[in-house]
């Protein structure tokens, strides 16, 4: 598949910290995220997303929002991808090169198991996922994958699913479900999956990916039809 490099336009100082794990290799390789020990890396001109990182326990301060710290048990620097300062739209085949990971966009499988390559993703001014204001990534019949340069020891992200089915993948294993809650307590790609609904809202929640002993997160991803993603963390 032809892939073109796509760049986001930075609108401000990005508040990207905390930890995000990498998803499994789904059927389409449609997801994955990076993790790396960092201290203070400034993205190059070729990076489509900026990022900041913090030592575990340190509160995020850029933008005065997103005060989140990684698990106390984590001895790694955590990275947090937040979409607030950016704008951009993406199609299947688009690639975002970061200093510590690669984000790619892939085909989406409907609930009738038919694949479509006609979906799109866009950074939008909304907060359905209840993440860092005031922007998030909207996925419309498309899957996004994060592949870390260095395999991750854990990952989390916030989401809002307002309709349709969901694609999910970690380390090459793919799932097609009606709702992410169906994956709570399961194992995908050698990782334990936890899905927690937030604030009593049946459409909003947090996904946490925890590798079993001897396993790391090499990539992870998610996709939906009326789906919103924010505060993607890995460590």
pLDDT means per 10 residues, the chain with 235 residues, are 38 30 38 26 29 29 30 54 78 90 95 98 95 93 96 97 98 98 98 94 95 98 98 94
Count other C-beta atoms under 10 Å from residue 97's C-beta.
17
- The two tokens of residue 98 are 């970061």
The reported pLDDT for the residue numbered 77 is 61
Residue pair 171/31 in contact (Cβ under 8 Å)? The answer is no
Give the Cβ contact number of residue 160 at 10 Å. 23
Q: How many domains does the chain have?
A: 1
At residue 38, the pLDDT reads 22
CA atoms 98, 101, 102, 106: torsion sign: negative
Q: What is the pLDDT of residue 134?
A: 85
CB of 209 within 8 A of CB of 33?
A: no
Burial of residue 191, with CB atoms counted within 10 A of its CB: 0-12 exposed, 13-18 middle, 19 or more buried: buried
pLDDT score for 86: 65
Q: Strand 94-97 vs strand 53-54: parallel, antiparallel, or unpaired?
A: unpaired
* Bridge partner list, 177: 166
Range of the domain at 98: 4-234
């Amino acid at each position: 598949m032809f892939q073109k490099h796509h760049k986001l336009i930075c609108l401000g100082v990005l508040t990207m910290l905390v930890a995000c794990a990498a998803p499994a290799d789904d059927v389409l390789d449609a997801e994955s995220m990076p993790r790396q020990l960092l201290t203070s890396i400034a993205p190059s001109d070729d990076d489509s997303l900026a990022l900041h990182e913090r030592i575990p326990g340190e509160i995020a301060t850029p933008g005065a929002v997103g005060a989140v710290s990684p698990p106390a048990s984590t001895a790694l620097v955590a990275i947090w991808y937040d979409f607030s300062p950016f704008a951009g739209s993406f199609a299947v085949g688009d690639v975002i090169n970061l200093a510590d990971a690669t984000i790619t966009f892939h085909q989406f499988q409907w609930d009738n198991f038919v694949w479509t390559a006609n979906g799109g993703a866009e950074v939008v001014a909304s907060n359905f996922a209840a993440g860092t204001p005031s922007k998030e990534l909207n996925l419309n019949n498309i899957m996004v994958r994060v592949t870390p340069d260095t395999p991750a020891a854990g990952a989390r992200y916030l989401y809002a699913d307002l309709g349709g089915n969901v694609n999910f993948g970690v380390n090459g294993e793919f799932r097609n479900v009606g709702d992410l809650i169906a994956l709570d307590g399961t194992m995908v790609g050698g990782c334990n999956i936890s899905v927690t609904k937030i604030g009593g809202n049946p459409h909003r929640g947090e996904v946490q990916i925890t590798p079993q002993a001897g396993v790391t997160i090499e990539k992870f991803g998610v996709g939906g039809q009326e789906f919103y993603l924010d505060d993607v963390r890995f460590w």
